Copies of this chain bind each other. A is one copy, B any other.
Amino acid sequence: MKTVVVVGVGLIGGSFALALRESGFRGTIIGVSSPDAVRVALEKGIIDEALPLAEAAAIADLIYLARPIEGILAALDELDSFVKPGTLITDAGSTKAAICARAAEKIRLGRFVGGHPMAGKEARGAQEADGSLFRGRPYVLTSRCAELEETISNFGARLVFISAEEHDVLVALTSHLPQLISTALAASIATQPEAARVAGPAAMDLTRLALSPYEIWRDIFATNATNIDAALGVFIEKIEGLRAELRARGMEREFENAAAAARGLRGK
């Protein structure tokens, strides 16, 4: 692997480039991104050079698609006409079924593996890129690929192999549902203007996601609406169940079960 092309040099794309460098990659990293992102990425030494997609793809051994979902879909539509046979193409999109389906349809010369690093931070953009962003975090791949597995293992990430469809079911519960809950909670608290005066750690922790801008969520909702709707259905049933038990003894068992589930998420 001599030439890696990162398409979309933001927080995730930039962190991928830095992690690659920090784990010993000696080849060339080319960025395909907006003029602003390219300038920051060159200044910070995240990429070696910048090129348009067609020119970069033609010399790539690995192409890392780290745009928003719609941008990944658009890249998949044209990428195969540019690449050398056997070029490895992967992505970091937050939903997988729509992207993997598009890749199956459009990628013939290249080899596509869907990916999703379960990492991030509040601030965005290439200036926030961090080579340790993936360390200790789950990194989903939708199929096996020895080269990519080795690269990502070297970042200290924890590889998880699941199908695109199962991924989308699971992240609807673990990522998309928490976002909507946080947004709904912030909106609920806002119904009482005085509430900010007594907001403690619980309110702060649970409304942090509500600060996320809609633009990164639009494509996620558009490509995973059915699973998110189902996750909302499960959650609303659970919280209606707790509401019914507010004055009853069943609540204790609900708390015990939920605490066990929360410990399970933490591996203990």
| Cβ-defined contact, A240 with B236, below 8 A | yes
User: Per DSSP, are chain A's interface residues mostly helix, strand or loop, or mixed?
Assistant: helix
- A259 touching B188, Cβ below 8 Å: no
**Within 8 Å of chain B (Cβ to Cβ): is A54?**
no
Q: Are A181 and B173 in contact (CB under 8 A)?
A: no
Q: Are A258 and B195 in contact (CB under 8 A)?
A: no
Stretch at the interface among A82-90, A102-110, A248-256: A248-256
Against B, the Cβ 8 Å flags (1 = close, 0 = not) of A75-111 are 0000000000000000000000000000000000000
On whether the beta carbons of B162 and A174 are closer than 8 Å, the reply is no
A258 touches B162 (CB 8 A): no
B187 touches A178 (CB 8 A): no
Most buried by B among A173, A187, A217: A187
CB contact under 8 A between A261 and B174, given known A166-B194, A199-B118, A239-B180: no
Q: Is the CB of A258 within 8 A of B183?
A: yes
Q: Is A4 an interface residue (CB 8 A)?
A: no
- Tell me the complex Cα distance, A240–B235, Å: 11
The residues of B that contact A160 with a CB separation of less than 8 Å are 197-198
Give the complex CA separation of A246 and B260 in angstroms: 31
User: For the complex, what is the distance from the CA of A194 to the CA of B160, rounded to whole Å?
Assistant: 10
Q: How near does chain B come to A23, taking the closest CB pair, in angstroms?
A: 21
Interchain CB contact under 8 A, A204 and B265: yes
Q: Is the CB of A174 within 8 A of B189?
A: yes
Residue contact A262 to B200, C-beta cutoff 8 Å: no
Report if A221 contacts B (CB, 8 A). yes
Of chain B, the residue at the smallest CB distance from A234 is B188
- Decide if A225 is an interface residue (CB 8 Å cutoff): yes
B256 touches A214 (CB 8 A): yes
Closest to A246 in B: B225
Shortest Cβ distance from A255 into B: residue: B214
Q: Residues of B contacting A231 with CB < 8 Å?
A: 188
Once the chains bind, are B218 and A184 in contact (CB under 8 Å)?
Answer: no
Residues from chain B with Cβ under 8 Å of A178 in the complex: 185, 202-203, 205-206
Chain A residues close to B by CB (< 8 Å): 116, 118-120, 137-138, 140, 160, 162, 166-167, 169-171, 173-175, 177-192, 194-214, 217-218, 221-222, 225, 228-229, 231-232, 234-236, 238-243, 246-247, 251-252, 254-267
5 contacts between A and B (CB under 8 A): A138-B198, A173-B188, A182-B206, A183-B254, A235-B239
